[in-house]
Structures are given as structure tokens and as C-alpha cells.
Structure 1
Amino acid sequence: MSVAVPAGFRALPLSLAQLSLAAVLKCGQSFRWSILSLNVPSNSALEYNLPTHEYRLCLRDRVVCLRQSPDTLFYRSVFPPLVSGDEETREAETLGWIRDYFQLNIDLVELYRQWSLADPIFKRIQDRFEGIRMLRQDPFENLISFICSSNNNISRITKMVTSLCRTYSPALLSLPPPAGTDLTEEAYHPFPSPSTLAAPEVTAKLRALGFGYRADFIQKTAAMLVETHGLTRNPKTSMEASEEWLMTLRHLDTPEARAELLKFMGVGRKVADCILLMSLDKREVIPVDTHVQQIAIKHYGFRGPTKSGTMSPKVYEELSCKLATVWGDYAGWAHSVLFTSDLKSFASYGLASPSGISISTPSTPGLTPDRSTYEPVDSPGVATPRSTSTPQSKKRKRGGPKRSGSKTPSSEMEETLAQLEVGVKVALPDESGQSTLIDRVKRRRRGTVSVR
């Protein structure tokens, strides 16, 4: 059933298998999208394929608004008053930006098919986590956002980036909420420029706003960009010279581009790799942290943590190369799907609810497992377990209870997770006879139950 185009919007035919806004805009790639509920009853949304949310992002000169049905992406752009130019031309520019930002020239369905043929683990989750693709973000915004990500979680990073924009970038315009909602009017701010964040007083102000040690990293990185590449603004693009220089890193090979990023304050290997993947077209790059290492250990036969608990550059490189061998040229994209599938805030994503209605949007974003339970050491962006974390294995005491059956803890967990992914509830008593195996698996993943 086709859906009527919302008033003021235009329609772009696009399936959820190619792009799922509900997943892509909430999985920790970008932190500036405003997500507004349209207050559509779930039964009506299901029966009539109605959009349930509106997504808004402030660019340099406009606010882009998106809605989505199962087979259509609806879009419109809102400009400040008295902006000159033909409406058709402006909307064509917005559509061009959408195609570039979401990289719609890349057939995601075909990539999913290739990854599923090469990887049985990916094949198990592909239907439930469809439509997750990499964004092609503005490199400067991406750089500063991921400096904020060090030892942090999605919710707090979002608050920091929002605070940064409101403090250092004048509002472009204000928009009322979608019709039929009781939200208040919201002001939309573009991302601030390098020259604005390079001012010496920025550090103290950001510390007062709760940025902690990241405040110094942000100011010094912006200052380094401005001092090295200048602040002349291109009137055609409204970009400063240092922003345009960051764009040129897209044309370097991966090691060269990474080496340039590692020169900045607050940028370690993992943060650099996030920027390479999410804004500099390095699609094969896999940002590695202890959370990704746990996925590799659990599913791909990678070795466990070192005795010290730290991730050495050698381990980082070995893990990255191993996963790239599995997934190929778009390994970073495939990694993002696996990463999203393992987030706590996506635990019910894509599963059928008790009423039989498929859950198509994730719950409120929570903590990313790597950022909420690990702290960086050595260099920003490379994480290591907290010293107070629960050990992952303990030797069984002589004469203690044995595990019933012949299944190993890992195979038992794998079987349970496989059933969880298709919404099957498994009832099996634990050691105390009180809880289900699902509960045990969840506790193990949180580190609260040791595996003997």
C-alpha cells in the first residue's frame, strides 16, 4: 500500500532494506539528528505503512527533514527567511545531499547478500538488522564528535555535541514540531567552524559545560587546523580552508590519511579509524575496541584478551585484518551492522512484540557496551577493561557442581542467542533453578555471571 506524501515533503522511492533511518541515525555514527515522534498509533502505522518519526538535521544553510515508510523516503528542506533562489533548485540540492550523505549509490542489499554468503554469523542477523549503512559525514564535524566519544556513551556524546552547537553556533532558524504533536518549537544550530573552536577561551568554557579533558583536545585540534591550513572561507561552499583540507584526505590512501589524523590532539587509532570510515570514504577500515574484540572472540575464533587487559597495536592490527578478510572491501560497513546488533539499546530491534507487531524502531539509545564499561589507556580511542570488572572465567573448584549435558558454555550461549534473534523464548533453569537461560546469557554478557 502506497502512502500519501506528507504536506510539504517530496518522495524518494527507497526500501527499508536499503536504508533504515531508525537504525542508522541512532547507532552512534552521528549525534546531531533530532528525532521527533509523530504520535502515530502502532496499529495504524503497521496497517497503513505510515511514518512514525521525523528526523531533522541542521546543515550550514538549511534544515533537512526526513520521514520514512517501508518503501519511501520523504524529505523536505527548510531555509531561513528571505533566502533567495528557486525552490526546485534548492530541493534538487537537498536530494543530492541525501544521496551523498547516505551513499545511496551503493547497493546495500547486494552487500548484505555477499556478506551472508561469506559469513554465517552475518547471515543469522541480516533480516533483523537490515538497512544499516555508513553515513558520509562532514569530516570536521565527525572529527570533533569522535574526540567527544572517548570513554563516553551515545546519550552523553549527543548532549555534548548539542551543547557545542548551541554555545558556538548561532541558530539558523526555529521550527515548530510536526503537526499533531505536543512538542515545543526548537531552534536549529549548524556545527561550529574550526576558527570558532580554536579560540583559547574555548577550553575553559567547554570544561564548564562538562566536557572534561576533551575540552583541551577540541580546542587544540581546531587551533592546529586553523594554524596549519588557514581560515579563509570559500564563498561557494561556506567552508573554511581547514575544512576543505580535511576533505582532501578522501583522496589519500588509508595509511596516509590515518597518519594525518593521528597528529591531532585526542585522536588515537580507533578514533582515527572511525573518521576514516564515517567521513573519508575508507570503507574497508574497521574501528577496533574491546567490544569489537569480544565479538571477534565470541564469533570469529579470535584470541582472548592479554593478561594485562590492554589492547596492543599488534592485537588491534591482527583483529582488524582478520575481520577484513571475512568481509572484504566493505568490511567497515559490515562491522557496523554487527556492532549495532550487539548494542543494548537494540536488544528488541526487529523482533516481534507480544501483540505480533514487528518492532521497527529501537528503544531510547542507551550505553554502547564498549564506551560504557571500558576506559581508554595508552591513547584515546583504544579501550581496555576496567580493573574492577568481573573475571570472565573461573576454575571450577574440586568437587563443585558440574555443568549438565555436553555443551560448552560458548556453544550453549550461541544456541540461545540464535533463538533470541528469531524471538524464541527458551526456558531452562539455571544453577539456582529460578531463572531462564536467556537471563543467564544476559547476565554473562554484562559480566555478572562467571562461566565455569
Structure 2
Amino acid sequence: MNWNKLLCNRNELQLRGTLNGGQSFRWTHNKDKDEWTGIFSKTVWKLKQSEDFLQYQIIGSLKNPPESIKSKTRKDANEPNFEVMLKKYFRLELPLTKYYEEWSEKDALFKTACKQFYGIRMLAQEPVENLFSFICSQNNHISRISSMVEKLCTFYGEEICEYEGVKYYSFPDVNKLSGSQVEQKLRDLGFGYRAKFIQKSAAQIVEWGGEEWFDTLHNMKYKDARQELMKLCGIGPKVADCICLMSLNHLEALPVDTHVYQIAAHNYLPHLRGKKNVTDKMYAEIGDHFRQLYGDMAGWAHTVLFCADLKKFQTDTSDMENSKPKKKRKK
């Protein structure tokens, strides 16, 4: 299968930091081939990058057979444009290098962090998958979150394809998760209290208009959309902010967990040091501080700091250094 090329400099997109930084839980990395396999938009993708290109293959798709992407002669108006889908997913229309320069001028810590953590993009995820994935994330670790998300897809999604002995499934539509039997099934599958949150939230969304309900949140002001999300069963401030930031285009949203609190208290707000819990007042103060510092893309900017501070990246800096984009010589 041939690789398709999308012009994209490594400074504008770093796959490792973007796909392995806790935004999405459906990407796996083949270290030997340095390839990423993942699922979004009911399509199975394989990605790898060079200095100036993002390369991709369509392994399977419910939107269209993968053969269509290889055909240069077909002009079917209904055929999905996978390149457009990929650009939208990574928000490639936004000039990240320019934003990095602006954020570096505002914050010395960012200026240091971005030298290694270049190209960290905020994924434009589908709200349904984003919401239920982050319900699974509550009091959980990455490998177990990923396992739960895959169980949701296996039992309630549609099979997309089988590739190299692995079956791949789409994320389920919200109505599939809203049935009265779903909670018990998910409890049997090891979801614990999250089973109730998933089923009840799905039922509420269906009652409020289904997936079109998210469109109304997208068009609201950030804090109004956040308040609406918190009306769902089991959705608190942090998960609501994750959804606002990652799938509703409210890029000023800033999810505050214990880790983010520690970054803020240690580097920016020393009067908050030594607190045992993040209160509502502290949560608002931390978010507002970074919004004032970075502006209307504060959530994205802070994600770079978050990635830079994660231990799993700190323990593997040699790989990051070796994969740094080379500076082009001036002619």
C-alpha cells in the first residue's frame, strides 16, 4: 500500500507529543517502523512523518473503501477527502510556529519547554468519543483508559476492518450507549461507577437532541458551554474543560487536575503551594491566570507545558532530541 503525502514540516506537527500526550486513547506506536496506527472519523489510519511531510495510509473506513484514496481517476463528489479530514483533525490550518513564538514572548518557562516539545497540536476530536473517553479517564491511568475505550468500541461500535489479525471498531454513536441495559453490561466489563455516568450521560444527550446538541455548545461562549456540559451525569469541571478544549473549539478552556495545579503552584502562583486539594476557587484562579497570560488559546499553550512536565516524556528525552527538526541553512 502506497503512502500518501501531506506537506507539513515537523516543526508544525510532532506526532509523538501530540498522539501520546493524553488527548486521545486510540493511537498505538510501532517503534520499529516509527509508525502510528489509530482511529478517528470511523476510519483506521496509519501515520508517519519525515522532515517536511506527514505520510498517511487508510487501512479501512466506514466512510469509503480505502481503494478510493489510491485512485487518481475517480471524481466522486460523495467520496470523502481523507486529506481534508487529516488536516482538520490536527488543526493544520493554524500556524503553530507563529503561536509558539507569541507564547514564548509571554512566558520564559514556555520558551524553554517548546525547544524540545515543538509541534504539539491540540486535536480536533469528535465530541461523543471525547466525552465518553474522558468519563473513563476519571481516577484512572492511560493503559486502563485505553482498554475501556476499546471495550466501548468493540461492544457498541461498528467493525471497520481487520488488519494484520486485529479487528478495528468505530467509536459508538451516542444512542448505542443510552440503553437501559448498558450500565450493567459496562459494570460486568469492569467500568465500575463510570458505567452509570456513561449510560446516564448518553441518555441525557439523546433526550436533548442527540449529537446535534454538541453543535449548540460549539456555538456558545466557552463558560456557557462548560456549564451545560456539567449538567451531564458524572461530568465535573475538569472533564467539561477537556471536552470544551479538545472537541468544541473553545481553546481557552484549561482542565486543571493535580498535575496542572503543581505546575501552576511551583512556577506561577507560589501562594497556592502546599494545598491538599484543588478547590473551586483555586481551579478558577489557575485557569484565569493562564488565560490572562496566553490569551484565547491558553488551553493549547498550557498543553505544551503539561507534556513537557510528564514523566513519561522526561524519561525518554534522548528520543526527542534525536528527532528534533533540523534547522535549514540560509542560502
Q: Where do 1:45-194 residues align within 5 Å?
A: 52-60=34-42, 62-79=43-60, 83=65, 87=71, 93-176=81-164, 185-194=165-174
* Corresponding residue SS for 1:127: helix
Q: Does structure 2 retain, via aligned residues, the 8 Å contact 1:128–1:349?
A: no
| Aligned alpha-carbon RMSD (Å) | 2.2
Q: Does structure 2 retain, via aligned residues, the 8 Å contact 1:198–1:219?
A: yes
Q: Aligned pair 1:317/2:299, yes or no?
A: no
* Corresponding residue SS for 1:329: coil
Q: Aligned pair 1:258/2:226, yes or no?
A: yes
Q: Does structure 1 retain, via aligned residues, the 8 Å contact 2:266–2:273?
A: no
Q: Aligned pair 1:32/2:32, yes or no?
A: no
Q: Which runs of 4+ in 1 moved over 3 A?
A: 78-92, 348-353
Larger radius of gyration: 1
Shift of 1:16: 1.5
Structure 1 pair 25/31, CA: closer, same or farther in 2 (3 Å)?
A: same
Structure 1 pair 269/54, CA: closer, same or farther in 2 (3 Å)?
A: closer
Q: Deviations over 1:266-322 (max 9, x none)?
A: 100111001000000011111112211110111113422576x22221111111111
Structure 2, unpaired ranges of 5+: 325-331
Q: Which amino acid aligns with 1:334?
A: A
Normalised by the length of structure 2, the TM-score is 0.89
Q: Aligned pair 1:213/2:177, yes or no?
A: no
Q: Deviations over 1:200-235 (max 9, x none)?
A: 111111111111100000000011111231xxxxxx
Q: Structure 1: how far apart are the matches of 2:6 and 2:121? A: 17
* Corresponding residue SS for 1:66: strand
Q: Aligned pair 1:21/2:15, yes or no?
A: yes
Shift of 1:172: 1.5
Q: Which amino acid aligns with 1:106?
A: L
Q: Does structure 2 retain, via aligned residues, the 8 Å contact 1:305–1:311?
A: no
Give the structure 2 partner of residue 232 of structure 1. Answer: none
Q: Aligned pair 1:226/2:206, yes or no?
A: yes
* Corresponding residue SS for 1:273: helix
Q: Which amino acid aligns with 1:108?
A: L
Q: Which amino acid aligns with 2:99?
A: L
Q: Out of 217, 223, 235, which is 1:249 matched to?
A: 217
Shift of 1:161: 0.3
* Corresponding residue SS for 2:296: helix
Shift of 1:71: 1.8
Q: Structure 2: how far apart are the matches of 1:327 and 1:71? A: 28
Q: Does structure 2 retain, via aligned residues, the 8 Å contact 1:254–1:282?
A: yes
Q: Structure 1: how far apart are the matches of 2:108 and 2:317? A: 19
Q: Out of 322, 327, 330, which is 1:358 matched to?
A: 322
Shift of 1:85: 6.5
Normalised by the length of structure 1, the TM-score is 0.66
Structure 1 pair 193/29, CA: closer, same or farther in 2 (3 Å)?
A: same
Structure 1 pair 265/162, CA: closer, same or farther in 2 (3 Å)?
A: same
Q: Does structure 2 retain, via aligned residues, the 8 Å contact 1:302–1:319?
A: no
Q: Structure 1: how far apart are the matches of 2:304 and 2:131? A: 21
Give the number of the structure with larger relative contact order, counting CA–CA contacts within 8 Å between residues 6 or more apart.
2
Q: Where do 1:269-308 residues align within 5 Å?
A: 269-305=237-273
Q: Deviations over 1:6-56 (max 9, x none)?
A: x4221112112111111111110011123334x24xxxxxxxxxxx22323
Q: Does structure 2 retain, via aligned residues, the 8 Å contact 1:64–1:94?
A: no
Q: Structure 2: how far apart are the matches of 1:278 and 1:80? A: 23
Shift of 1:76: 2.4
Q: How much identity, in percent, do the aligned residues show?
A: 41
Q: Structure 2: how far apart are the matches of 1:155 and 1:92? A: 32
Q: Structure 1: how far apart are the matches of 2:304 and 2:214? A: 27
Q: Structure 1: how far apart are the matches of 2:157 and 2:267? A: 44
* Corresponding residue SS for 2:86: helix
Q: How many residue pairs end up in the alignment?
A: 317
Q: Structure 2: how far apart are the matches of 1:124 and 1:9? A: 35
Shift of 1:198: 0.7
Q: Structure 2: how far apart are the matches of 1:124 and 1:34? A: 28
Q: Does structure 1 retain, via aligned residues, the 8 Å contact 2:35–2:46?
A: no
Q: Where do 1:342-353 residues align within 5 Å?
A: 342-351=309-318
Q: Aligned pair 1:8/2:7, yes or no?
A: no
Structure 1 pair 243/77, CA: closer, same or farther in 2 (3 Å)?
A: same
Q: Structure 1: how far apart are the matches of 2:53 and 2:190? A: 40
* Corresponding residue SS for 1:199: coil
